[in-house]
Structure 1
Amino acid sequence: MYQPGHFAQQDIQLLQAHIQEYPFGTLATALDGLPQMNHLPFYYDLASNCLQAHIPKVNPLFAQVQQWLQRSSTPTEVSAELPVLVAFQGPDAYITPSWYPSKKEHGKVVPTWNYTVVHVTGRLRITQDPEWLTQHLTQLTNQQEPTRNSTWEMSDAPAEYTEGMMRVLCGLEIAVDHIVGKYKVSQNRQPQDQQGVLEHLQKSEQWHDRQLANLTMQVNRKTDNGN
């Protein structure tokens, strides 16, 4: 990822919180020279520093990864692991030059796009362990249900029904090696222009604009504190 210094975000706690706040990620793999992406909800297990997800076994990724692991394993290995990249896109917004007070001063302004994104690199393994899947789906559900003011639990559905659904799934677990973030929120502009962008995002009727404003303020607070 192209990452100019002023947009680099290295606060690991902020990046971990980003993944938990925007858990719908894009899993990028390259198998036999063919790049592909899968879009999945993830659960980030901080204790083990692993990302967890699941896919149906009919997803071509399941067969392709299995084949890769079989070719990559040696007789002394339990399993091999596939290097992968996962991107977690946060809020983004078009930024019009009319939001910059400096436009009235010299007119040397152009449109841009502000955005936040976190990239995770790691090693993927596949599991079909029913206990692992049960725990993963429970954690993922418990993570998301409060966002809908709901208390639905896995046990609310008939056990034979959920067991039948899990038989067609496999689990994905990614051991996290590196997390890098890019928060492009007008840090390269003059303070007056930064403030102009922030004020317009805060007043926007668009939810993602206001979310971007919140993240912008987080970045600004850390900058002001010298972090």
Structure 2
Amino acid sequence: MYAPKQFREKRPEVLVSAIRSIQFGAVVAPSANDLEAVHLPMVVQEGPEGFVLEGHVAVGNLFWKIAAGGAAGLAIFQGPQAYVHPGWYETKKATGKAVPTWNYVAVHVRGRLSIERDPTWLRNHVAQLTSVNEAGRAEPWAVSDAPDDYIKAMLKTIVGIRLEIGAMEGVWKMIQHHPAANRLGVIAGLSAEDNSGAQAVAAIMETESADGG
């Protein structure tokens, strides 16, 4: 992962928090003659030996057979991202020396893949994933809301995917290397965009500015 020093994020608590917020990622692994990727929501578990990413795929998705062989895996989580218009820079007005760029958050996780087919594990995994995303709803759905025989049948159609986390790294590219006036101009510009991603990037930049970043 290309990560210049000023954008690099290595703190585990920040990276794990971002993964929990983003949830949906791509997991890439080598197959016999190529690379294979799967896109899925994942949850982070912390155990005695470190962090683990847990997700699931359909039985028909042959990615689980690659995972079952203990292949190395790379999970990629992309957070908020937005185009940065050079006209928002104060220095552009003064010198004209400005070009567009892109602000973004990304997390890479490397480790060893494995699978889970135990029905109890799968039920607990689905219940946790559901609980996180149903929290705060007026009428939250729970696994227990569905008939037990139906849930048992559905669990037979999925395979759990686990990635034992060996290393994590992230990039928070928020033009930290620019002067404060440029950053404030970009925050104002992104905040005014009719785009939730741009507004999310502006919020991150505001937080970093408040923290002295």
What's the counterpart of residue 182 of structure 1?
Answer: 171
| Structural mapping, 1:39-188, within 5 Å | 39-47=39-47, 49-66=51-68, 69=69, 81-146=70-135, 148=137, 150-188=139-177
Q: Give how far 1:148 is off.
A: 4.8
What's the counterpart of residue 20 of structure 2?
Answer: 20
Distance 1:152 1:210 in 2: 30
SS in structure 1 opposite 2:114? Answer: strand
Distance 1:50 1:63 in 2: 19
Task: For residues 42-66 of structure 1, give each alpha carbon's deviation from its aligned partner in whole angstroms, at most 9, with x where no partner exists.
Answer: 0111345111000011102123444
Q: Tell me which stretches of 4 or more aligned residues in structure 1 moved more than 6 Å.
A: none
Structure 1: tracts of 5 or more residues without a match: 70-80
SS in structure 2 opposite 1:6? Answer: coil
Structure 2: tracts of 5 or more residues without a match: none
Match of 2:183 among 176, 184, 194: 194
SS in structure 2 opposite 1:59? Answer: coil
Task: For residues 150-171 of structure 1, give each alpha carbon's deviation from its aligned partner in whole angstroms, at most 9, with x where no partner exists.
Answer: 4110000111111111101110
Q: Give how far 1:15 is off.
A: 1.2
Distance 1:223 1:10 in 2: 18
Distance 2:101 2:129 in 1: 35
Distance 2:101 2:56 in 1: 36
Distance 1:162 1:37 in 2: 27
TM-score (normalizing by structure 2): 0.93
| Percentage of identical aligned residues | 31
Distance 1:108 1:116 in 2: 25
Distance 2:124 2:114 in 1: 16
Task: For residues 82-137 of structure 1, give each alpha carbon's deviation from its aligned partner in whole angstroms, at most 9, with x where no partner exists.
Answer: 21110110010011111111111000101111110011111111110001000100
Larger mean Cα displacement after TM superposition, 114-123 or 38-47: 38-47
| Structural mapping, 1:3-18, within 5 Å | 3-18=3-18
Tell whether 2:23 aligns with 1:34: no
SS in structure 1 opposite 2:6? Answer: helix
Distance 1:117 1:201 in 2: 19
TM-score (normalizing by structure 1): 0.87
Distance 2:208 2:40 in 1: 27
Tell whether 2:211 aligns with 1:209: no
Read off the aligned partner of 2:65 and give its amino acid letter. A
SS in structure 2 opposite 1:108? Answer: coil
Larger mean Cα displacement after TM superposition, 171-180 or 139-148: 139-148
Larger mean Cα displacement after TM superposition, 93-102 or 42-51: 42-51
For this pair of structures, how many residues does the alignment match?
A: 211
Structure 1 residues 186, 149: CA separation in 2 closer, same or farther (over 3 Å shift)?
A: farther
